[in-house]
Amino acid sequence: MRYTNLHTHTNFSDGAHSVAENVASAVNKNMLSLGFSDHSYTPCDPLYCMKPEQYEPYLRTLEAAKKDSPIPIYAGLELDAYSQDDTSVFDYFLASVHYIIKDGVCHPIDHSPAQQQTCMRDAFGGSVLDMAKCYFDILGEHVAKVKPLFVGHFDVITKFSLMPEEDDAYRTIAADTLKEVLKICPYIEMNSGAISRGWRKTPYPGSYLLEVVKENGGHMVLGSDSHNLNNLTFHFDESVELLRQAGIDHIAVFNGKGFDHVTI
């Protein structure tokens, strides 16, 4: 199967390689196309994202790559909930949550277990469910506000296995949010980023959420959340197999304007 990846980071944000190096790798891998999605500017944590002055050179570099590349290249953005960006200049954007800001403190959710534990203790009095509810509320409101092409790493809060993923109360919070999100944006990412970085054995979202996607008319988009040119299609064959096992018979593949539904 030839793949597309719409979740690619470069050295414009926290990726290891340049746009050109990633394009060359995609061509080498016989990919259908490649979309770039560097991190939007988050003022509370400027280390991992593009600075405002980098947007213009980022877009210029992608325009040049489009002209040179033998496969379609798309200029995208991973739009964080705490960013304020004009998304109209991009071919597409995905919506993600990486932070909880509470009582004026910015807590990164997916940087380290220690920071997530600090957030739970300081912002939520140690309540894992209160923290999960807050995360999913931020995500739901973000999606409703910005209406992305697709939703990135829906339950990234599980990255460090600190969430009670088997707990019915936790699952209800996640599933209820997903049902609301699907009414606004039916395209959800199957994200393998935490596997390539050694944190998890399975992609986001959790398998019980694939049931919710299936039952509520949603569609899955493969995304590797690549920060390294070797990972552009990381775990995609295995992800497709997991989708088949969940009874999902297609993936959504971007065509430059919208999604084609491709049988798997």
The footprint of Zn ion (CB under 5 A) covers 78, 96, 225
Nearest alpha carbon to residue 232 among 18, 67, 96, 31 = 31
Distance of CA 108 to the CA centre of its chain: 15
Q: Which is nearer to Zn ion, 5 or 96 (CB)?
A: 96
Is the Cβ of residue 133 or residue 153 nearer to Zn ion in the bound state?
Answer: 153
Q: How far is the CB of 194 from Zn ion (least distance, A)?
A: 10
- Tell me whether residue 33 or residue 226 sits nearer to Zn ion (CB atom): 226
Least Å distance, CB 45 to Zn ion, is: 12
Helix axes 113-124, 128-146, angle to 10 degrees: 100
Q: How far is the CB of 78 from Zn ion (least distance, A)?
A: 5
Q: What is the distance, to the nearest Å, from the Cα of residue 97 to the centroid of all Cα atoms in its chain?
A: 9
Identity of the residue, 45 or 78, whose beta carbon is nearer to Zn ion in the bound complex: 78
Closest distance of CB 96 from Zn ion, Å: 4
